[in-house]
Amino acid sequence: MSSQPDRTDLRNLQDKTAIVGVGTTEFGAIYRDLDPERSAYELGLIAFREALKDAGLKRTEVDGVIVSRLPHYGRMCEMIGLRHPRFVNVLPGEGRQSGIALQYAALAVANGMADVVACIYGNNGRSAGAKYGGESRGISTQAMFEAPYGMTSPGAVTSMMFRRHQYRYGTTTEPLGHLAISNRANAALNPNAVMQRPITMDDYDGARYIAEPLCLLDYCLINDGGVCFIVTSAERARDLKHTPVLIHATSQASDITPVYVADDFWHEPMSQIADDLFAISDAQRDDLAFAQLYDNFTPTMLFTLEGMGFCEPGEGGDWITPERIGLHGELPLNTGGGHTSESYMQGWALHVEAVRQLRQECGERQVDDAQYGLYACAAPLATGHILRRGD
Amino acid sequence: MTTELQTPELSYEKPLPPVLELTKPFWDGCREGVLQIQFCNICDLPWFPPAEACPRCLQDDWEWRPISGHGTVWSWIRMWQKYFPGWSPDEYPYTVALIKLEEGPYMYSTLVGIEDKDVSCDLAVEVDFRKVDDEITLPVFRPASR
């Protein structure tokens, strides 16, 4: 092997940049109002407008734009009247990219390529009839070697991983039920959440299977929405409207295979990210006021908790208890309701919730002593950040 | 060894793989009852799905070599959701398995000759073949006899 890179260089980004504005569409309201003419750009526009207002910035002060799930940066820039941005990028519409968008924005600002970067996401999946499965055209691996067996969808591969976890460690679906119920309980305190009716373990146990062993309540929603967060330097952030939320530590790791799944449930990339974050941060696991964990499907949260060392591999099923993960527990998880109950914004709304918790704006669902919070996404391309309240 | 998947007069509506220049030897092999994957002639690495070069050497000096057809069930699911046309109502839920081939690579497939209640991760399996049409024969897996 070649010499290992010095990952403590990640310290170079520590507390240099901040999220100074966040905005979203009204997730619940438009869930009940399908509109085939609703474009992802329109949703991105609404979120951008909200985030600008939240930050107290003028449109013309934005000089960097990163879009995701929006097919083209050009249309978005055109619609928000940015003719001469000096840092622009487009990331595909997959959940792994939300944390990466924040990383690119932080890198750009910290290195002088932009002063104010707007990260904009728009998703009209529900109105457009997105199914997140069933693709069989083209010459992809999926079309050639998976679809002929009826294999499709991110949920099915996650279900494969969870079944393996069950086999290897004796994990039951009960902890997944706890995660789904907890997400829903948090969403019930979030006026912007799509799903607000609390659920019970009976509801969970009675939910129909999608890709067994996973059931409907393990799955993210499919809904329309837009999200924007605005990043600038920590220095400039001090003069803006809100207490800045600093990008205190951030890291990326990966395990890219042809079949998506990982034999170790992504322990290797997630433990690498945890090592990075806790090596460079003042905060350790006990100091985190919450964790916003990517929950395309509930097992992803379990894999993240194990991978990041909140418990040992295989012990996630016992570790996940309602008391521990609730709003006033040891580690409140997905305080806004997550993808299964608040909104499926592919990690973007989890970032917004983290910011609002650290700014202590969350009303009934506000967690205690929010100084440091975690975002993490376990996937073949994995990310994690510790965000810090910057006062 | 190869058996008909269905009576020919019924149309087959499940997704069928496009056959590319790169993947044709794979399907030619299946039609003959031989499971083969690419191996690097320089470093002997096997890989699947097909690719234009060895992912280790990055050279295109490779060949298709028959493999043992043996492996284990890494994991498996029962699909209840109707994502594709072609599966009749009485086929749900259908089984999809992720096979870890003895040679290392993984392959999605389905299981035959076993009831779901008897399936377990790490079950030893071996390849079998199901003819779909004159071009495509799908590799499937059944409990290993050895």
Residue A164 and residue B75: Cβ atoms within 8 Å? yes
Half-sphere exposure for B47 (CA within 13 Å, toward CB): 21
Q: Among all residues of chain A, which has the CA nearest to that of B20? A: A139
Reported as a single tens digit per residue, the pLDDT across A36-62 is: 899 999 999 999 999 999 999 999 999
Question: Is the model's pLDDT at B4 over the cut of 60?
Answer: no
Clarify whether A169 is annotated catalytic: no
Domains of chain A (ranges, CATH numbers)? 12-130+222-247 (3.40.47.10), 154-218+249-385 (3.40.47.10)
* The predicted structure's pLDDT at residue A3: 64
The pLDDT-based confidence of A2 (bands split at 50, 70, 90) is low
- Mean pLDDT for all residues in chain B: 94
Reported as a single tens digit per residue, the pLDDT across A234-251 is: 999 999 999 999 999 999
Reported as a single tens digit per residue, the pLDDT across B72-125 is: 999 999 999 999 999 999 999 999 999 999 999 999 999 999 999 999 999 999
Nearest CB to B108; choose among A131, A149, A164: A149
Which pTM does this prediction carry? Answer: 0.96
Report yes or no: A150 and A291 within 8 Å, Cβ to Cβ.
Answer: no
Report yes or no: A98 and A351 within 8 Å, Cβ to Cβ.
Answer: yes
- Mean pLDDT for all residues in chain A: 96
* The predicted structure's pLDDT at residue A79: 97
Question: Is the model's pLDDT at A291 over the cut of 50?
Answer: yes
Is B14 part of the contact surface with chain A (CB cutoff 8 Å)?
yes
The length of chain B, given as a count of residues: 146
Question: Is the model's pLDDT at A154 over the cut of 80?
Answer: yes
The contacts found for A186-191 with CB under 8 angstroms, 24 or more apart, are A186/A327, A186/A334, A186/A335, A186/A336, A186/A337, A186/A338, A186/A341, A186/A342, A186/A365, A187/A336, A187/A337, A187/A338, A187/A341, A187/A342, A188/A337, A189/A327, A189/A363, A189/A364, A189/A365, A190/A336, A190/A337, A190/A342, A190/A365, A191/A28
Is B89 part of the contact surface with chain A (CB cutoff 8 Å)?
no
Write out chain A residues lying below 8 Å of B137, CB-based: none
Secondary element (H or E) of residue A49? helix A40-55
Question: Is the model's pLDDT at B2 over the cut of 80?
Answer: no
The pLDDT-based confidence of A318 (bands split at 50, 70, 90) is very high
Residue A143 and residue B79: Cβ atoms within 8 Å? no
Clarify whether A73 is annotated catalytic: no
ipTM over 0.90: yes
Question: Is the model's pLDDT at A257 over the cut of 50?
Answer: yes
